[in-house]
Structure 1
Amino acid sequence: MRRTEETDRLDIWRRRQETAYGLIPYVMLAASGSLSVVVSRPAGRPLVAVAVLGGSAAVLLFWFVTLHPDWMGRADRRGRMVVFLVALLLIAAGLVLLDPLFGIFAWVGYLYSFAVLPGRWRLAGVTATALITATAQAGGPPVDRDSGLLWGILAVANIGLAGAVSWFSLVTERQNAHRKQIIDELADANRRLELTMRENDGLHAQLLVQAREAGVLDERQRLAREIHDTIAQGLAGIVTQLEAAERARDRRADWKRHADLALMLARESLTEARRSVRAIGPEPLEGSRLPEALAELVRRWSGVHEVAARLVTTGEAQPLHPEVEVTLLRVAQEALTNVAKHAAASRVGVTLSYMIDRVTLDVRDDGVGLPPDLGPERGTPGSESFGLTGMRQRIDRVDGGLTIESEPGVGTAISVTVPASADLDRASA
């Protein structure tokens, strides 16, 4: 990840600081030496001693600062740099005693006290440097009361000023370190965020693929249910009526009745097939409410299959979500189709009950019960016929429940319960 501008500025400042620490001591040593030789070198102060100490200072700086600049500020090299600072201050003190003009060079003690010593130890370094510079400013060490008073005033002033600067520098350094830590943490957080976003993009793409596949599967199941509940049931009814007509060919009245029923079922199946393709509601629910549509379904089923059937509606009828009404109508169709196929019943009762927050549909017959391969004793919806499986799928889509009870010789009862106010967007998700 690209580094922030704030981090770049801190790095630039640090590089400039290292360059200054490497050049300033040489400049100040040269300036002090030049002034000592050219401007004023008091008698009795050997030039050889000045040259030796000045050369020692130059060698010390060259070894520790020029050749090994990376030692400065490193914790594992701190001991060596403390030795360097002590030696540098001793050399500076010796030069100041030889000539106070070397107080210019002694000032570098402040630089390296900040750069080398950790934390509060810097105060010790700047205090020693302040005493050396105070001696240079006083013209040498005190020799009497007046010079001692002057030296003391200068020492206090230098120590106070250098100590304040050192303290503020320490506080600023801590703030910079804290700021850099925050910047590094933010950069790391941004890296993790970018990684998470890339992972989320991958997951999002995967979810889109899964959602697309689920949509395709859901649409296939919807079409399969519609085909089963309309075309397949209609064709089964047509086949039944044509078989009955074949058996009654010698009785013209019965033959015509069965043929007319087969024609009616064929027309209805064609209409339902077209409506399924257009994905609109079933014809019985268009222009009528659910109780009327169920009543018409029960009446026509009873007439086609010659089985007594009756619808009872309890509670106050209320409008339901269109998909809930379609579900209840299709469940009633499938239940009556199963009665016609398997039950051999003589009587069927259909009950539609409106309650405060639920609606139930019960279909009961007095037949022989469901075959073992279709009955609830098989235990799992996957072992049922496609009709019962489609029934469960429809009911699940509207957040409802299905119960099937069947006993040989007693009959079958199918009970469906759905919410009166179903959240179809949530239930279908």
Structure 2
Amino acid sequence: MSEQAWPLRLTVVPYVLLTAVAAVTVLIKRDEPGSLTVDLVLCAVLGLWMLVMFTLRPARRTGTRWIVVFIVGFVLVLAVLVVRDPWFGFLTPAGYFYTFGLLPWPGELVGISAVAVLAGIAQSYDIPKTNLLGLLGCAAVIAVNVVGMCLASWLGQRSDVLSQQRKEAVDALTETNRRLEATLAENAELHDQLLTQAREAGVIDERQRMAREIHDTLAQGLTGIVTQLQAAETSEDWRRHVTTAVGLARDSLTEARRSVHALRPLPLQSATLSAAIADVVRRWSALHGIDAQLTTTGTPRVMTPEAESTLLRATQEALANVAKYAQASRVGVTLSYMQKEVAVDVRDDGVGFDPSRTTPSSEAGGFGLVAMRQRVEALNGTLEVESEPGLGTAISATVPTRGASA
């Protein structure tokens, strides 16, 4: 029963049933004024009891003691009516409404059983009770009513318990999801803060390193040059000072070039991009025991340091991801020199994954792959990841060759 249906069944239906049964009683006992009067008085008492004890006392409908007194009185008056006339058994639904709706579990079983006994007595009214068979028949009718209604009460209670458990589970899940969303949002914010701090720390470290390089090389060299030129202005042996200043200038230029080259990855300091990638592939294959082959296509050309560094780093990161996640037995690396672009493709025969079910932060390689994508796109290049469960993974990094000399 819905919560909206209970008030109607509790406050209206019992009066309708009582009125209908009283009308039937008038029709049946119109030739028995004495008995009719007693029945009508009992009906009036029952109606006043319902009115005074329940209908007009909404504030006390939730008080257990008050409700118990009300139902006990209702059952007693109803019992007298049923014993007098069996058709008053049609009032038992009102008793079920009250006991089901007002008494707490398991106390409602007592009230339900009492009303069910009255219903059984009314239903077995015509069964002869002068022999054992008749008595057993009456008892069977009463038992069927009691067991059936108590079973219905238990099923209703069980349904309420399960409904409450489901509601609590849903509430708990909702709260867990809310906390998880808050935690994820907090973690995302912390991740952004860590990236910002790491970026700032890297900038500071690089500035400090460059400051040391400039101080130890260029600044000292320029200071020496200025000193020698100033000495040449007042010295008769000015050629020696000029020669020394020229030597210092050459040394400073060499140091400046070395500082610039130091910004490039170590493999590129003394090798071409193709040779550097070949060395990386060879070392990686030996380290992890996985067959890896490099294939170079097109005409090799000199590229900008940033482009070469980006492609080399992309190769290293892709191979690192293969070692961590792919479970591959073979890896193929292709360095392709095209007319306007240079690309590095790393393909493996590993377990693969479903790219549609990943986010940028959860791709194989995590932040390393994200950083690789950012590095490639900073050069107006593209990074593509192709994979399928069971069919391996292919990572392709492509950068334009503008600014490169043939």
Query: TM-score scaled by structure 1?
Result: 0.53
Q: 1:281 to 1:256 in 2, by over 3 A?
A: farther
Q: 1:182 to 1:284 in 2, by over 3 A?
A: closer
Q: 1:152 to 1:282 in 2, by over 3 A?
A: closer
2:99 alignment partner AA: S
1:29 aligns with 2:8: no
Aligned to 2:38: 49
CA-CA distance at 1:242 after TM superposition: 5.2
- Retained in 2: the 8 A contact 1:60–1:88? yes
2:254 alignment partner AA: E
- Retained in 2: the 8 A contact 1:234–1:266? yes
Aligned to 1:89: 75
Q: Take 1:111 and 1:281, find their aligned partners in 2: how far apart are those partners?
A: 85
Q: How does 1:23-422 map to 2 (within 5 A)?
A: 23-40=12-29, 43=32, 45-69=34-58, 71-72=60-61, 74=62, 77-139=63-125, 145-146=130-131, 149-150=133-134, 152-191=136-175, 193-198=177-182, 200-202=184-186, 204-205=188-189, 207-209=191-193, 211-230=195-214, 233-240=217-224, 243=227, 254-255=240-241, 257-271=243-257, 280-281=264-265, 285-287=269-271
Q: Gaps spanning 5+ residues in structure 2: where?
A: 273-282, 285-366, 372-406
CA-CA distance at 1:234 after TM superposition: 2.0
Structure with greater Cα Rg? 1
Q: 1:59 to 1:226 in 2, by over 3 A?
A: same
Give the count of matched residue pairs.
281
Q: Gaps spanning 5+ residues in structure 1: where?
A: 1-11, 289-317, 320-423
Q: Take 1:131 and 1:232, find their aligned partners in 2: how far apart are those partners?
A: 107
The CA deviation string for residues 232-276 of structure 1, in whole angstroms up to 9 with x for no partner, is: 522213423554676686557753552232221332355456668
CA-CA distance at 1:171 after TM superposition: 3.3
The CA deviation string for residues 314-348 of structure 1, in whole angstroms up to 9 with x for no partner, is: xxxx89xxxxxxxxxxxxxxxxxxxxxxxxxxxxx
- Retained in 1: the 8 A contact 2:124–2:141? no
SS in 1 for 2:271: coil
1:229 alignment partner AA: E
SS in 2 for 1:46: helix
Q: Take 2:123 and 2:30, find their aligned partners in 1: how far apart are those partners?
A: 16
Q: Take 1:69 and 1:162, find their aligned partners in 2: how far apart are those partners?
A: 29
The CA deviation string for residues 58-113 of structure 1, in whole angstroms up to 9 with x for no partner, is: 122223442345655x4xx2122111111111111111233221111134333333
- Retained in 1: the 8 A contact 2:129–2:135? no
CA RMSD in angstroms comes to 4.2
CA-CA distance at 1:128 after TM superposition: 2.4
SS in 2 for 1:37: helix
Report percent identity of matched pairs.
Answer: 17
Q: Take 1:196 and 1:273, find their aligned partners in 2: how far apart are those partners?
A: 48
